[in-house]
Amino acid sequence: MPGMAAGGRILLAYLIYFAAIGAAFPYLPVFYHDIGLGLEQIGVLTALQAAVQLLLAPVWGGLADRFPRTRLTLPLAAAVATVGATILFRADDFPTVLVGSLILYAGISGIAPTLDARTLETLGTERRSRYGEVRAFGSLAFVLATLTVGFVLDAEGARALFWIYIPFLIGTVVVTATIPRRGVTHSVNLMRGTRQFLATPGVALFLIGFTVVWASLAAVNAFYSIQIVALGGSTGLVGIAWAIGASIEVPIMYAFPRIGRRLGTERLVVIGSLAFALRALLASLIVDPVALVLVAPLEGIGFACVFVGGVTVVAARAPAGLQGTAQGMFAAASGLATIIGSVLGGAIAEALDIPGLFRLCAVGGLIGTAIVAFALLRPRSRTELPVTA
């Protein structure tokens, strides 16, 4: 990576931030359930969080492009997330949970897409395909944090996740404030940049297909931890399930440039989408919590291929000076998908049951996969990504 100082700070930022995510993401639904929220409330809460991401992720990305010389956007997003997590830590009723989680996600919506854009900016066009190697360190941190926190929660209760989450968010503020900018020197208008990016051939259709795939994934993920516990598993087993999935991500992400050169980045996105659908189908049939852990690797395969492939595809199609905007739009599509998956998922889980929800998610995932394949693999829209050593 060019510039060891900048590269080292980016790697450290991924390690710290995704350790925070590993401490919270698998366990927040359990925390919500423990303080008395129902399944439908959890679904609505997750949807509102995603609505914030949908609205603000393009704004954070646009701000990074609008002010290409400042390094403050990223640590500011992390600081906002820290405030929200602190409020959530003290919450014991739905209104307080709502306020804390919305502030939390107002910040979270800006961290990942801006960090990804800053990484791509530092790598430069010729080494952009090596993004997966960098992102793999985030998944490694996620694994270690998830395993550790799962057993802490077994001993101390779900609220203890914030003992790890908040300090690592603070660490994200500190580290990201030191990452220098290497982007273009001219600013970009947010609305004009968004329209220009969406007008790029294949982009809009890909984002639609990705949204369908991610909505199905979001619905499964929102209730996967709860289902493990409902079948008799412990929070430690929940941590193992998520850690196994993330462990699979690490080697795939690190090897992504080489695999992508052999199979094609677009094909890897389609393969990952199929892995999500297969995981949802198998999870709908399982009645043993240990078996849910055994199918967790499919989530890791899918995430590595769809997320890293998606970031890379979007980066390759983004016009000059619009990396922040492009990654913000990609994150916004993820937010919209989470809204759809969480609202429908919570309602379906209440009306049917969690396995019934998982079956419908398998069908939705297949539909989304077909759209993604059409957007990325049809000859008139396919764009080969640059290959670098």
Place of tokens 């999870």: 283
**Cβ atoms of 214 and 333 closer than 8 Å:** yes
Please state which of the ranges 107-116, 208-217, 362-371 shows the lowest mean pLDDT. Answer: 107-116
Contacting residues for 77 by C-beta, under 8 A, at least 6 apart: 60, 107, 108, 109, 110, 111, 114
What is the structure's pLDDT at 155?
A: 78
Q: Above 70 in pLDDT, residue 67?
A: no
What is the structure's pLDDT at 180?
A: 76
pTM of the predicted protein model = 0.71
Can you tell me the mean pLDDT for 147-170?
86
Can you tell me the mean pLDDT for 162-189?
79
Please state which of the ranges 63-72, 84-93, 140-149, 208-217 shows the lowest mean pLDDT. Answer: 63-72
Domains contained in the chain, CATH given: 4-377 (1.20.1250.20)
Q: Radius of gyration of the chain from Cα atoms?
A: 19
Element (H, E) at 239: helix 235-254
